[in-house]
Amino acid sequence: MVRTRFCEVFGVEHPIVQGGMQWVGRAELTAAVANAGGLGFLTALTQPTPADLAKEIARCRDLTDKPFGVNLTILPSITPPPYAQYRDVIVESGVPVVETAGFNPAEHLPAFRAGGVKVLHKCTSVRHAVKAQALGVDGISIDGFECAGHPGEDDVPGLVLIPAAAGRITVPMVASGGFGDARGLVAALALGADGINMGTRFVATVEAPVHDNVKQQLVAAGERDTELIFRTLGNTARVARNAVSTEVVSILGGGGRFEDVRELVAGTRGRKVLETGDLDLGIWTAGLVQGLIEDVPTVAELIDRIVTGAGQLIRGRLTSVAG
């Protein structure tokens, strides 16, 4: 059992967060995390319209009576989704917490505040964390270079990023990127965080709504089997290495432009990987922590294993080496 101020502020039993995940953050997974005492987030943009998000929130409520939240990822786009409408659904639905990511959340904070929705802002640098804290967010999720998805362009891994952020952040902070087991949770606490956020590890659980081939690939893959795409475009993303990711890196590395890879990286292709289990159909997101994943447990087994193991580690090995 590990309790921190994160649990008090966000009203959960364990300081373990399931971050937003496009095509994965659906009611089945988020409710399972909530039922196991963690903080799960539905992913707003996985739902085609704001009205569908309202339905998904209702579906999640049918599966759990524990608190859960919604992730709102704001990314640069030529034709942006109706962010304000998704935001309003989040506020009107009465979910207690939102995970903002991808961009400065300033524009949306007044509405969240007025609706009593707590904001956990996910970012990849100390300077952005400090800025979000100054804007008045309730918590920070600091995402290191190890993470799946967008690690930013600074390439600072968690071992330095987490304590650097902890030195400047006074609101509750969870460490993200590369976490998957009890050792990670204890390390995050030692580095000054109040808990952990996980993405990749939750994809390899029974309840994650993705094809079993994807889960088995996360078990089989090592820590060297991810790839950083879009580096030359200043929009780096860490993804599972496959035929498509390698082709994208080769085209962009050879001076190609986004237009040259647009079709290869289409979200619809990535979605098909998760649905059909054909791992080379498109780009799909995974982090370095896949090298530590050895099985596909239920969410409850996973969370119990992490918190029980963390307690044992603190009382056992760490106490014994403290002399």
Ligand X SMILES: Cc1cc2nc3c(=O)[nH]c(=O)nc-3n(C[C@H](O)[C@H](O)[C@H](O)COP(=O)(O)O)c2cc1C
Residue 198 CB, nearest approach to ligand X (Å): 4
- Which residue from 20, 50, 105, 172 is in contact with ligand X, where contact means CB under 6 A? 20
Which helix (DSSP H) or strand (DSSP E) does residue 42 occupy? strand 39-43
Per CB under 6 A, does 56 bind ligand X?
no
CB hemisphere CA count around 291 (13 angstroms): 13
Residue facing ligand X at closest CB distance: 199
Query: Is residue 81 part of the contact set for ligand X (CB under 6 A)?
Result: no
Rounded CA gap, 180 and 287, in Å? 10
Q: What DSSP element (H or E) covers 18?
A: strand 16-18
Paired strand residues for 157: none
Q: Restricting to residues 101-120, which ones interact with ligand X according to CB under 6 A?
A: 101
At which residue do the structure tokens 């949306």 appear? 108
Of 1-9, 13-21, 89-97, 306-314: span binding ligand X (CB under 6 A): 13-21
What Rg, from alpha-carbon coordinates, does the chain have?
19
Among 287, 303, 306, 309, binds ligand X (CB under 6 A): 287
Comparison of 2 and 147: residue with beta carbon closer to ligand X: 147
Regarding 239 and contact with ligand X (CB under 6 A), the answer is no
Kindly state whether residue 236 participates in binding ligand X, applying the rule CB under 6 A.
no
Q: How far is the CB of 106 from ligand X (least distance, A)?
A: 17
Closer CB to ligand X, 256 or 297, in the complex: 297
Q: Which stretch binds ligand X (CB under 6 A): 84-92, 147-155, 156-164, 261-269?
A: 147-155
Q: DSSP string of 190-217?
A: HTT-S-EEESHHHHTSTTSSS-HHHHHH
Choose which of 37, 178, 195, 309 interacts with ligand X (CB under 6 A): 178
Q: Is 277 left (phi over 0), alpha (psi -120 to 50) or beta?
A: left
Stretch that binds ligand X, among 2-10, 20-28, 160-168, 245-253 (CB under 6 A): 20-28
The reply on whether position 177 binds ligand X by CB under 6 A is: yes
CA distances from residue 167 to 126, 127, 171 in whole angstroms, order as listed? 9, 12, 11
Binding of ligand X at residue 226 (CB under 6 A)?
no
Nearer to ligand X, 75 or 260 (CB): 75
Q: Which residues pair with 238 in a beta bridge?
A: 149, 228
Shortest distance (Å) from residue 214 CB to ligand X: 9
Cα gap 146→154, rounded to integer Å: 12
According to the binding rule CB under 6 A, does residue 30 interact with ligand X? Answer: no
Amino acid found at 141:
S
Q: How far apart are CA 244 and CA 126, in angstroms?
A: 32
Q: Does 185 bind ligand X (CB under 6 A)?
A: no
Would you count residue 145 as binding ligand X (CB under 6 A)?
A: no
Return the residue of 200, 226, 236, 242 that touches ligand X, per CB under 6 A. 200
Interaction of residue 281 with ligand X, rule CB under 6 A: no
Q: List, in order, residues 6 or more apart from 179 with CB less than 8 Å away.
A: 185, 188, 196, 197, 198, 201, 289
Please report, as ranges, the residues that interact with ligand X according to CB under 6 A.
Answer: 19-22, 24, 43, 71, 73, 101, 122, 143, 146-149, 176-179, 197-201, 203, 285-287, 289
